[in-house]
């Protein structure tokens, strides 16, 4: 009897969690990252304070094609941004400055949801960079 109940609970947990997980990532991103990284395509590039998320993810995916690796990279970078670790934007760092560490603002666990959501949703279909990516050196 106990086992059956446990299985039911597990089933519910497993069935529901992917949804919650995805939503969490979007909500967390809005709360903790969107102030700097906009999620819609910018009309006016000159007012940006950081690269929009589709550009970021385009570059992240060029270096880290597996989701697991990309999520790991993002979680690490956000807590400890380093020029040498940045994937593909020497000119972006020059323009925006290095991203300030978000340590204390976001936890490792939250970052995993955020990064997973970013990977699944960006760049959105049909997105083409504005040509800034070409001069990047992909490691
Ligand atoms: C205060 C503004 C600010 C906030 C808040 C911020 N970022 Fe950034 N982020 C930047 C800037 C500026 C850059 C570009 C320079 C760089 O790459 O370090 C950047 C770059 C990045 C990059 C690309 C790293 C690379 O390889 O160059 C990732 C990934 C990233 N941010 C993720 C996040 C996530 C996830 C959050 C929310 C938890 C976040 N950022 C919050 C300013 C911000």
Q: What are the pLDDT digits (tens) for 53-82?
A: 999 999 999 999 999 999 999 999 999 999
Q: Two tokens at 25?
A: 């990532």
Stronger pLDDT, 77 or 136, i.e. the higher one: 77
The domain spans of the chain are 2-37+47-124
Q: What is the Å distance from ligand 1's center to 37 Cα?
A: 7
Q: What is the Å distance from ligand 1's center to 93 Cα?
A: 10
Tens-digit pLDDT profile for residues 106-129? 999 999 999 999 999 999 877 765
131 vs 14: CA distance, rounded Å: 42
Residues 6+ apart with CB under 8 A from 16: none
In ligand 1, the atom with minimum distance to the C-alpha of 115 is 35
User: Which one-letter DSSP state was computed for residue 45?
Assistant: G
Q: How confident is the model at residue 84 (pLDDT cuts 50, 70, 90)?
A: very high
Stronger pLDDT, 81 or 131, i.e. the higher one: 81
Stronger pLDDT, 101 or 8, i.e. the higher one: 101
| Distance (Å) of CA 107 to CA 58, 67, 102, 103 | 24, 19, 9, 7
Residues 6+ apart with CB under 8 A from 79: 101, 102, 103, 106, 108, 111
User: What's the gap between Cα 85 and its chain centre?
Assistant: 15
Looking at residue 41, what is its pLDDT?
A: 87
Q: Which of 26, 34, 36 to mutate to test the pocket of ligand 1 (most atoms within 8 A of CB)?
A: 36
Q: In what helix (H) or strand (E) does residue 110 lie, and over which residues does it extend?
A: helix 108-121
Looking at residue 42, what is its pLDDT?
A: 86
Stronger pLDDT, 60 or 90, i.e. the higher one: 60
Ligand 1: list residues with CB < 6 Å: 32-33, 35-37, 50-51, 56, 60, 74, 77-78, 81, 86-87, 89, 92-93, 96-100, 102, 106, 114
Tens-digit pLDDT profile for residues 5-45? 666 666 556 555 555 555 599 999 999 999 999 999 888 88
Could you tell me if 76 and 89 are in contact, meaning their C-beta atoms sit under 8 angstroms apart?
no
Q: What is the Å distance from ligand 1's center to 18 Cα?
A: 25
Q: What is the Å distance from ligand 1's center to 121 Cα?
A: 17
The structural architecture, per CATH, of the domain 2-37+47-124 is Orthogonal Bundle (1.10)
């Amino acid at each position: 009897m106990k086992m059956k109940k446990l299985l039911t609970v597990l089933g519910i947990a497993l069935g529901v969690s992917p949804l919650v997980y995805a939503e969490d990532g979007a909500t967390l991103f809005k709360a903790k990252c969107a102030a700097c990284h906009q999620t819609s395509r910018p009309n006016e590039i000159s007012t940006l304070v950081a690269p929009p998320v589709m550009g970021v993810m385009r570059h992240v995916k060029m270096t880290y094609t597996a989701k697991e690796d990309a999520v790991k990279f993002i979680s690490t970078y956000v807590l400890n941004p380093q020029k040498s670790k940045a994937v593909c934007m020497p000119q972006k760092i020059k323009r925006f400055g290095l991203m300030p560490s978000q340590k204390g603002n976001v936890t490792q666990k939250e970052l995993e949801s955020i990064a997973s959501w970013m990977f699944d949703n960006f760049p959105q279909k049909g997105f083409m960079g504005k040509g800034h990516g070409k001069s990047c050196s992909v490691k």
